[in-house]
Amino acid sequence: MTVAPKREAYDVVVIGAGPAGLAAAATSAEAGLSTLLLDENIGPGGQVFRAISSTPVTDRNQLGADYWVGADLVQALRTTSAEVIHRATVWSLDRNLEIAVSVGGASAFVKAQRVILATGALERPFPIPGWTLPGVMTAGAAQTMLKSSALVPDGRTVIAGQGPLLWLLAAQILRLGGRIDRILDTTERGNYFAALPHAFAFLTSPYFTKGLAMMREVKAKVQVVSGVTELSAAGEGQLASVSYVAGGKRDTIPADLLLLHQGVVPNVNLAMSAGVEHRWDDLQLCWSPVLDASGNSSVAGIAIAGDGAGIGGANAAVVRGRIAARAAVEALVPAAAAKLPSMTALRTDLARAERGRVFLDTLFRPAPQFRIPSGDTIVCRCEEVTAKDVLDSVAIGATGPNQLKAYRRTGMGPCQGRLCGLTVTELMAQARGKTPQEIGYYRLRAPVKPITLAELAAVPKSEADVKAVVRG
């Protein structure tokens, strides 16, 4: 049962109930601040701890020990007075800290003194020829089905891409009895050398032994092709085969399902639409918000924690959530901060949690040919704009993603650039010989998620309207 927020104003509103949001809301409520946690999913956990309170998967080994950490976070939050609303879609946030949220088909507005955005990550677009065919999906979508419904692929399945999550998903599918025919690893060979200087930190991080064990587990059961330099999907109206080149040799294999994944990037949509300044991160190859050491953004009162602040993983997300919440407590009720862990202790925790990250970011930095498509490969799915279309527009004067709208409708469809934004920025940057920072990104506006006209028409009238009616 989902209900609208109980109050019109809160000390702290946290958006997103993944690791960062759960930790932030618990910290804020524990310090006695009125706290509202809004989350789009049916239960807490975000993507990493998806369905933590409801998953039908009961054998703890199948999803791994790291998954079940989420249960403790949920438990910690439940002992506080924080108000938690699931199936709550925040569709607008502005610099006055006014939040519009849709719950059960009805929208409400709430005001906050502090907003902590914990909107997590999105999978990076993987625009290869044929990526829009039915039968091609993201690894994240497959993992959602696995965690919430214990569904695993049973047809001829190929997983392609790179990054820790790809191996985790493969291991989870195999443990649940799913089928994987081949894994195509697109990690660039040169990345191993580039990552080497950062290897010591990684070797001493918690990621190392777990990651190695997982890769071994998968490689024992599935044929893994490494050094894949080209990739495409083909089929008539439905995926039929996957072609790839590795070590200069092309191979084509029949497939019913292709799962693509080349890492995750911060989900910046709500933050950008609120006017938060972002910068291009040249290592993680994505937009990240400009934040101070406590997660405060360029918009007064808005802090960002978790992967939405720059990819750091679940452990770092929890600590960043606590840091952002502690900063909010310090700002609103300084005396109440005394009972929370000190900022120094939290920052030490964060440094530990972030250990090894540079190694992973360097090793799993996706290769240009998998980020920047060419020719007839679709860039913008909503409006069916190809890479060639974008380049043609650049040739006659389009200078950036916003200007491109005057030539092609890229980013103007239902997804508003959520699926094509990074591709468009990098493609235009390459074509114009500029940096992504110089090229910029779509100007994002609310509603960040679509709402129906009927729902907007039904929002409560403003006080001014009501008064006007009373006066007659």
Identity of the residue, 184 or 448, whose beta carbon is nearer to another protein in the bound complex = 448
User: Between residues 369 and 402, which has the closer beta carbon with respect to another protein?
Assistant: 402
Minimum CB distance to another protein, residue 431 (Å): 17
- Residue in this structure with the two tokens 């300044």, named with its chain if needed: 277
- In whole angstroms, how close is the CB of 444 to another protein at the nearest point? 9
Look up residue 139 and give its DSSP letter: H
* Dihedral sign, Cα of residue 403, residue 405, residue 411, residue 416: positive
Contact by Cβ (8 Å): 278, 441 = yes
Q: Which is nearer to another protein, 4 or 253 (CB)?
A: 4
Q: How far is the CB of 59 from another protein (least distance, A)?
A: 41
Q: In Å, what is the CA distance from 469 to each residue of 101, 206, 316, 406?
A: 26, 63, 52, 42
Nearest distance in Å: CB 90, another protein: 13
User: Could you tell me which residues are beta bridge partners of residue 296?
Assistant: 303
Nearer to another protein, 275 or 341 (CB): 275
Least distance to another protein, CB of residue 452, Å: 5
Element (H, E) at 15: strand 9-15
Q: What backbone phi and psi angles, to 5 degrees, belong to 298?
A: -70, -15
Specify whether the backbone of 440 is left (phi greater than 0), alpha (psi in -120 to 50) or beta.
Answer: left
C-beta closer to another protein: residue 149 or 462: 462
Closest of 359, 288, 346 to residue 316, by C-alpha: 346
What is the rounded distance in angstroms from the CA atom of residue 262 to the CA atom of residue 185? Answer: 10
CB of residue 74 to another protein, shortest distance in Å = 32
Name the DSSP letter for residue 365: P
Q: Name the minimum Å distance from CB 454 to another protein.
A: 5
Nearer to another protein, 194 or 466 (CB): 466
Q: Which 8-state DSSP code applies to residue 296?
A: B
* Residue among 32 and 447 whose Cβ is closer to another protein: 447
Closest to another protein by CB, 431 vs 446, is 446
- Alpha-carbon 256 to chain mean position: 26
Contact in structure between 7 and 28 (CB atoms under 8 Å): no
What CA–CA distance (Å, rounded) separates 164 from 136? 20
Q: Which of 377, 158, 361 is nearest to 260 (CA)?
A: 158
Residues that bind another protein (CB under 8 A): 92, 94-96, 100, 109, 275, 396-397, 399-400, 402-403, 405-407, 409, 412-414, 416, 445-447, 450-454, 456-457, 459, 461-462, 465
CA-based end-to-end distance of the chain: 39
Of 472, 391, 389, 459, nearest to 98 (Cα)? 459
In the complex, minimum distance from the CB of residue 414 to another protein, in angstroms, rounded to a whole number: 5
The CB-of-223 to another protein minimum distance in angstroms stands at 43
Which CB, 32 or 413, lies closer to another protein? 413
